[in-house]
Structure formats: C-alpha cells, structure tokens
Chain A
C-alpha cells in the first residue's frame, strides 16, 4: 500500500454563474520516502491540489468527489480536529514566498515552539532545544540568536530555511512544497534544492514538489506528474519524462526550457493561453493549442474534439492523449473492456 493514494479527486469553486472545476479526477500515489514532482503552468491546478490534500483550500473551494488515503486512512470528509492533528505533524507544507509565510509580529522562536506545542506535550525548554536542533539541520548559523529574531531580520533564503526547519520539526512523513524556490535568487535556489534533497534522504521524508520549473523538478524528484487545466496529462519517471516526453503539452514544456534553446534564438513557447476554467473546450482540454490536432492530411482529429483522453500506459509512464494512443496503437478503453 502506498503512503499516500489519491483517486478521482475533484475540487470545485462555486461561483456566481457556474461552478469552477479546478481539479478533474486527479489520481496519483506516493511511496514512503519518494520524491514526486508536479509540473504545469500557472493556473493548471497544482497549488489547489497541494492545498486540497490537507483540506486547506481557501473558501469557497471544496473537494466534491474522490478520495485521499494516507496510510490507508481516508482524509476526505475527516473531521477538522483529526485533520489538524495530521497537519504539520505527518504532512507538512512549505509555501512559495518566504517573505509572506512567517508571521511578521512573532519571533522565529515563537513560531517554531507553537508548532511543537500544537502536537506534543513539551516543556518550553525542550521545545526550544528541538527548534535549535532543527535550525542546525537546515544549516542556519547561530540558531539561539535566530530564535529571538523576527522574520524581517532574516534574508529570503534564511527565511525559507526557517520554514523548512518548521516543516521538519515533527518528523513528518510527507512534505508538500509549493514552489519553494520560486521567490529566491538563483544561487539561493541551488543551495535550497541541495538542502531539501539531502534532508529528505536523511530523514526518509516523502516530498511532493510543485513547480513550473522543469529544471528544479529534474534535480529533486524521481517521478513527475504533468498537470494541465486541472487534470494529469502525463506521469512517469522524471528522467524519462524530460528526455522522452510523450504528451504534446509536456513536449512543449520541455522545448520551452531556455537551456534547450540554441543561443540567439527566440524561446520556443507553447502558443495560446490556458483555457478559461469556466469555459473549457469540449474534448481534450489541450486541443486548441496542440500541434497534433490535425491528421497528416490536414483534417481535424475527431477524437481530440469529441472526447477527453484517459491516462493510459505508454512506455514507462502514463499519458492522456489520443495522438499518442494512435501512435502506440493502444486500443481504446472501450475496446479493452469488451
């Protein structure tokens, strides 16, 4: 049994006119100690997925279908009290902008100690000792001094280390990191990526890393999900995914990497915008931007316009694309079931 198993997860934001479907049937699993990447453009539903795992969606969003099993325990519909006991203790989170994540009016020490007190009976002294130890783990010098300081007295990189130290405080099983390095400069980014990797290995912590940066995903994760318009369109081992992308969208993402563009040429971007979540296209959500939506003779591929593709095995991973299915001559779902 996987440590975390998500199946058929639908998240909805009720709007005045019609509900906005932010996630559609998302399914994946995470093994103990595994590092999983989730990649996609802004608005693809990556953060919604991260927040829905611990039911931390902002109002009015809610999970309207599906299941999230952690160690076999169903988290969807679990009482707020029980969820609270899991948050921070078994599943911890790291946010995008370390400038905004820490409360400006509380010292680092207060924000670390309160986390410990929320889950464990410790004396103030024990809690402080633990906090100092964790600050040491994330390579923060003079941890005793830091405990007395306020967030604004630390640099961005240092703050993100503090946030990681808070996430590690209670030895969680999974850390969910939502764009943890996006707001930092490149040097700090590289240091933090190395640190996260080392900490996850050392403490055998599972990592769900959310990023729009394939480079970061490549350095940190073993397996990757590619999200588009609220669904997973491709998943597979990170290395395979980047070197041999199957889904046209993943190919577009990989091709758009600046490192792969020859010098002095325009960056290759995927044409067009992400579909309006209130007005998504019928059929495959990606088809208006897809280079393969036509047959070789120029006629439109009917499947792409008619039906949303399912995730099906292709090579070492799974892909949701009619074009890939035809390429690999995989029989359709209906045919296999009869």
Chain B
C-alpha cells in the first residue's frame, strides 16, 4: 500500500500549497479575520473553514461561494467531456494512421494540419468556427451562371445556423445540475465550443500518439508479434497502441491544467455559462471569495485527476505494483 499512501501524502501537500495561495489572495485583498490575530491563526482559521467546505459568501451573489461554483461546474464539465471525447475519438485513429503510413498523403496532411492547429490560438479558431458554421459564408468567386461555377460556389459556401451562444435550454437533472446531453438540441449547442476546445488538444495528441507509436513499432515485441503471424490490426491496436498510450496518458494528465486555461477562453468567446466565464466575471466584480473558491476547487479537481491517472496506470501496467516498487 506504500504507493497509495505516498500518493495520498503528495496530494495533501499539493492541496496545502494551493490553500496557502488561496489564503494569501484572500488575506491580502479581503481580510476576513481582524488583523490583530497572527498570520498563523488567520491561516488556520481559513484552512479549518475550507476543510468544512465553507469558503464564505460571494460578495456579488450573496450566497455561499461554493454553491455558485457548483452551479457553474456542470456546464464546464460537459464542455470538457465533449471535447475530450472528440479529441480521443480522432487522435487515436489519426495518431495510429500517421505512424503506420508515415509517408502517405493523408498522414502528411494530418501533420501539416496539426502544425497549424498547434500554432493557432483557440479564440481565433473559435471565431473562425462561428463565422463558418454559425453565421455562414457566401462565396461567389466562380461564375454563378455556369453549372460548375454554381456547384463550386455552393460547395465552398456554408449555411451557418449552428448555435454558438450560451447553452440553449439545458434540461434540469438534479439540484443545480442542468445538462445539454439529453437532447439533440442541447448537443448542438455543445458542438462548436467543444470543437474549438478540441482543436487545441487534438494536434498535440495526434503528434504524441504518432511519436510513441513510431517508437513502439520498432520494439522487439512488435517484431516478435509480426513473426508470430498475428494480424496487422492486432499488432497495431493491441501490441503497439496499448504500450504507446501509457506515456500519452501521463502527458495528457499534465495537460489538464493547460486545458482549464483554454476552457476559460472558449467559454468567453461562446458565452458558455461555465466556470471560466464565472471566473472572469468575478474578477471584474472583485468577488475575491468566489475567486478563491474557484482556485481551490480547480486545484482539487486537478489533484484528483492526477491520482485517477496513477490508478489507471496501476490497472494498465502490470509492472507497477501497489507496494511502490517497480521491478
């Protein structure tokens, strides 16, 4: 159990560090406790309240700050899950394909596209998506009188009409949780913001999976699998991909924090009422308690994600054992 205990200790340490930052922010800008107490007493009071999940009231909403965060959380989680799903569904086949056919035309296009995707800022992608699919473009460079001209113009023009503002009418599930997942219309609202967010991660993951696959494909056990006469599908997707995904998972977990930042930008462009939007609003309103609560909750989510990834590792890689020794 050494592994889990060590992991738990690390988690507590990280949460402690985050709480210090949160406390510093709060104590500097909006001291809750009279200043005659020593800084240690003030911190301990803050930490004790935080452990009871009491972060005080939001100055703007006049409600417990945690309730506000919990209210905005589902929108962000749904946006994040949709874009993560899009990324996975596209990155794995594209990464594998570009690794096994490195010289193919499609592979070269993919890599060129991913270079553009990596360098394009998410708000620009988002605005482009809105122009193309929400507003629509009408292209008329070809003579509209001819058949081929009309056909090409129609091909290059887009209708628009996709929803690109807010969440629409999400369906109430439970408590303060509303979902976009239950109706086609709700999913329609998710599509553009989730695509914009996925455009940040997708190129990175395609390249990562491709690089790991290229390395694994040169390994002896893949050669041995071929020498055993296994089918290509089994070699690529069982022998190679499984090994290639382990490091991808680690880096994916580390990208989680970056993704939170991109969520902020995406939510702003699409006015998606999630945590990112709430965070920016609370900065404008100097709602320090809400800011600190956001910080603590996001920190908690990041830490938990990394623990979950470690547990996944434990499950996927038989060489890592619970006692913490790696043979």
Binding site for B on A (CB under 8 A): 51, 54, 56, 58, 84-89, 92-93, 95-97, 100-107, 114-115, 118-119, 150, 152, 163, 166
- Judge whether B239 is part of the interface by a CB distance below 8 angstroms: yes
Contact A102 B221 (CB under 8 A): yes
Contact B318 A88 (CB under 8 A): no
Provide the bound-state CA to CA distance between A104 and B240, in Å.
11
Contact B227 A88 (CB under 8 A): yes
Question: Which of B72-80, B229-237, B289-297 has 4 or more CB atoms under 8 Å from chain A?
Answer: B229-237
Residues of B near A107 (CB, < 8 A) are: 318
Q: Contacts A89-B229, A104-B243, A118-B231: A58 and B218 contacting too (C-beta < 8 A)?
A: yes
Chain A residue with minimal CB distance to B216? A103
Q: Contacts A93-B224, A100-B220, A103-B221: A115 and B317 contacting too (C-beta < 8 A)?
A: no
Binding site for A on B (CB under 8 A): 218-221, 223-231, 234, 238-239, 242-243, 316-319, 327
List, sorted by A's number, 15 A–B pairs whose CB atoms are closer than 8 Å.
A84-B231, A88-B227, A88-B228, A93-B227, A95-B224, A100-B219, A103-B225, A103-B239, A104-B221, A105-B316, A105-B318, A114-B234, A118-B228, A118-B231, A163-B224
Taking the nearest CB of chain B, how far is it from the CB of A83, in angstroms?
Answer: 8
Contact A105 B317 (CB under 8 A): yes
Provide the bound-state CA to CA distance between A96 and B242, in Å.
23
Contact A100 B221 (CB under 8 A): yes
Provide the bound-state CA to CA distance between A101 and B223, in Å.
8
Residues of B near A114 (CB, < 8 A) are: 228, 230, 234, 238
Residues of A near B220 (CB, < 8 A) are: 95-97, 100-101
Contact B221 A166 (CB under 8 A): no
5 interchain residue pairs of minimum CB distance: A88-B229, A87-B229, A100-B220, A93-B227, A88-B228
Provide the bound-state CA to CA distance between A101 and B243, in Å.
14
Provide the bound-state CA to CA distance between A106 and B231, in Å.
16
Provide the bound-state CA to CA distance between A216 and B16, in Å.
62
Residues of B near A100 (CB, < 8 A) are: 219-221
Contact B318 A152 (CB under 8 A): yes
Taking the nearest CB of chain A, how far is it from the CB of B202, in angstroms?
Answer: 25
Taking the nearest CB of chain B, how far is it from the CB of A125, in angstroms?
Answer: 21
Contact B243 A87 (CB under 8 A): no
Residues of A near B316 (CB, < 8 A) are: 105
Chain A residue with minimal CB distance to B221? A103
Residues of A near B223 (CB, < 8 A) are: 51, 56, 58, 95
Residues of A near B230 (CB, < 8 A) are: 84, 88, 114-115, 118
Contact A87 B226 (CB under 8 A): yes
Residues of B near A163 (CB, < 8 A) are: 224
> A96, A97, A104: which has the most chain B beta carbons within 10 Å?
A104
Contact B224 A118 (CB under 8 A): no
Residues of A near B239 (CB, < 8 A) are: 103, 106
Residues of A near B218 (CB, < 8 A) are: 58
The 8 Å CB contact of B229, one of A58, A118, A150, is A118
Residues of B near A95 (CB, < 8 A) are: 220, 223-224, 227
Residues of B near A166 (CB, < 8 A) are: 228
Residues of A near B242 (CB, < 8 A) are: 103, 105-106
Contact A104 B319 (CB under 8 A): yes
Chain A residue with minimal CB distance to B218? A58
Taking the nearest CB of chain B, how far is it from the CB of A261, in angstroms?
Answer: 33
Contact A152 B327 (CB under 8 A): yes
> B224, B225, B318: which has the most chain A beta carbons within 10 Å?
B224
Chain A residue with minimal CB distance to B220? A100
Provide the bound-state CA to CA distance between A115 and B218, in Å.
20
Contact B229 A86 (CB under 8 A): yes
The 8 Å CB contact of B221, one of A56, A89, A96, A101, is A101
Residues of A near B221 (CB, < 8 A) are: 100-104
Taking the nearest CB of chain A, how far is it from the CB of B90, in angstroms?
Answer: 24
Residues of B near A97 (CB, < 8 A) are: 220
Contact B229 A85 (CB under 8 A): yes
Taking the nearest CB of chain A, how far is it from the CB of B317, in angstroms?
Answer: 7
Taking the nearest CB of chain A, how far is it from the CB of B215, in angstroms?
Answer: 13
Residues of A near B228 (CB, < 8 A) are: 87-88, 92, 114-115, 118, 166
5 extra interface residue pairs, beta carbon distance < 8 Å, beyond A96-B220, A102-B221, A114-B234: A92-B227, A104-B243, A104-B317, A118-B228, A166-B228
Residues of B near A87 (CB, < 8 A) are: 226-229
Taking the nearest CB of chain B, how far is it from the CB of A180, in angstroms?
Answer: 12
Contact B227 A56 (CB under 8 A): yes
Residues of B near A85 (CB, < 8 A) are: 229
Residues of B near A86 (CB, < 8 A) are: 229
Residues of A near B234 (CB, < 8 A) are: 114, 118
Chain B residue with minimal CB distance to A170? B229
Residues of A near B231 (CB, < 8 A) are: 84, 118
Q: Contacts A105-B318, A150-B318, A152-B319: A56 and B243 contacting too (C-beta < 8 A)?
A: no
Contact B319 A102 (CB under 8 A): no
Chain A residue with minimal CB distance to B242? A105
Residues of A near B219 (CB, < 8 A) are: 100
Residues of A near B238 (CB, < 8 A) are: 106, 114
Residues of B near A88 (CB, < 8 A) are: 227-230
Residues of A near B226 (CB, < 8 A) are: 56, 87
Taking the nearest CB of chain A, how far is it from the CB of B323, in angstroms?
Answer: 14
Residues of B near A152 (CB, < 8 A) are: 318-319, 327
Provide the bound-state CA to CA distance between A96 and B317, in Å.
24
Residues of A near B225 (CB, < 8 A) are: 103
Taking the nearest CB of chain A, how far is it from the CB of B262, in angstroms?
Answer: 32
Chain B residue with minimal CB distance to A107? B318
Chain B residue with minimal CB distance to A90? B229
